[in-house]
Amino acid sequence: MRLVLLGPPGAGKGTQATRIVDRFSIPQLSTGDMLREAVAEGTEQGLRVKHIMDRGELVPDDVVVSVVAGRIDHSDAANGFILDGFPRTVVQAEALDQELAARGIKLDAVLELEVDEDALLDRIRGRAEEAASRGEPVRPDDNPEVFETRLHVYREQTAPVTEYYRSKGLLNIVDGLQPIVVVTEQLAAALAALPSLQIRSEIQ
């Protein structure tokens, strides 16, 4: 099962992706995590993207596309994956389609978590405060000013990706303001209703 998880920053994509990973045994491919790893390792790519991420802006499309293309070729992604944080632009969505087509595969579904902006701002303040109170490092881009930039970038560059997938008939929207377990159940229900999965379970 090949999935994309969409939603604004702070919508709970990471939390839900982890829960989908457990339930469906497919890896979570988070471009944010992959890029933060490159930064932590101090690779050439990491050094190039660090300041962009710290400002809450988007890393260039070609960089992220090549990171994802390399990652989906790993053996653990052979039976599927859930992409978290990618695609974030229509250019990335088109590039993903091409990369998948070149491998003879395609997406089964796109799941979107819908959360309004006021709720997102509350959440992100909470996330930064909780991490600080546990003595954990706070992500450099989890402060209110940078978060405003991330929301702006989302509105301008990522929101059109929703329409891209809607027009392809792949989009499933779930209200991300509900309790975590309810969101997971609704995402799972959307997946259970997918025609591609029903055909597969009839074959088995």
Exposed e or buried b per residue across 1-31, where buried means at least 16 C-beta atoms within 10 angstroms of its C-beta: bbbbbbbbbbbbbbebbebbeeebebbbbbb
State the minimum distance, in angstroms, from the CB of residue 52 to ligand ADP: 6
Determine, following the binding rule CB under 6 A, whether residue 9 of this chain makes contact with ligand ADP.
Answer: yes
Nearer to ligand ADP, 34 or 194 (CB): 34
State the minimum distance, in angstroms, from the CB of residue 196 to ligand ADP: 24
Contact range with ligand ADP by CB under 6 A, out of 54-62, 111-119, 175-183, 190-198: 54-62
| Separation of alpha carbons 30 and 143, rounded Å | 21
Determine, following the binding rule CB under 6 A, whether residue 85 of this chain makes contact with ligand ADP.
Answer: yes
Q: What are phi and psi of 95, to 5 degrees?
A: -65, -40
DSSP alpha helix (H) spans, 103-193:
117-133, 144-153, 159-167, 180-192
Nearer to ligand ADP, 62 or 163 (CB): 62
User: Where on the chain is the footprint of ligand ADP (CB under 6 A)?
Assistant: 9, 13, 31-32, 35, 52-53, 56-59, 64, 85-86, 88, 92, 141, 150
